Amino acid sequence: MLEKRKHKRLKMEHALELARLNADGTADGGVVNADILNISRGGVGFLSRKRLEVGSYYDTRISLFSREMIDAVLEIVHVEEQEKGYYYGGEFIGISDSDAVKIDIYQVFHDI
């Protein structure tokens, strides 16, 4: 199988909160709770009991091991139904360069 990912995925177990974004870029007020399973510079894989639409956008805030926070806009690009809920693949479409570097640093420390 051909690997399509541009960045190495790293296992990670943290809670994640996602706030759905409306067409005008504002949050609709609802929060979805999820569990991160892996992360890379390009996106995040997570598990949630709630069904999310492919192509929908969410404002996210992720805490790394060092308590560094990453703020990013995520697009849902993949969904797979599983026994414990839904597994999602989300692509970062709005992440600052400094937050992307935090993920790179997290990977370096994890690889040591």
DSSP character string of 66-101? TS-EEEEEEEEEEEEEETTEEEEEEEEEEE-HHHHH
- Residue 97 dihedral angles phi and psi, to the nearest 5°: -60, -40
pLDDT top residue among 105 and 83: 83
Into how many domains does the chain fold? Answer: 1
Q: What is each CA distance from 64 to 17, 72, 81, 84, in whole angstroms?
A: 14, 13, 27, 24
Q: Residue 106 belongs to what domain range?
A: 10-111
Domain assignment present for 88: yes
Domain-embedded: residue 3: no
Torsion of CA 51, 14, 103, 61, to 10 degrees: 60
In the chain, the percentage of residues whose pLDDT exceeds 70 is 88
Domain assignment present for residue 42? The answer is yes
**Residue appearing with tokens 């994890």:** 110
pLDDT tens by residue, 29-72: 788 999 999 998 899 999 999 999 999 999 998 887 667 788 99
**Distance from C-alpha of 46 to C-alpha of 39, rounded to nearest angstrom:** 9
Q: In terms of Cα–Cα distance, which of 44, 41, 46 is closest to 8? A: 41
- The whole-number average pLDDT for the span 6-20 is 80
Query: How many Å separate Cα 58 from the centre of its chain?
Result: 9
CATH number at residue 51: 2.40.10.220
What confidence category does residue 84 fall into, taking pLDDT thresholds of 50, 70 and 90?
Answer: confident
**4 in a structural domain:** no
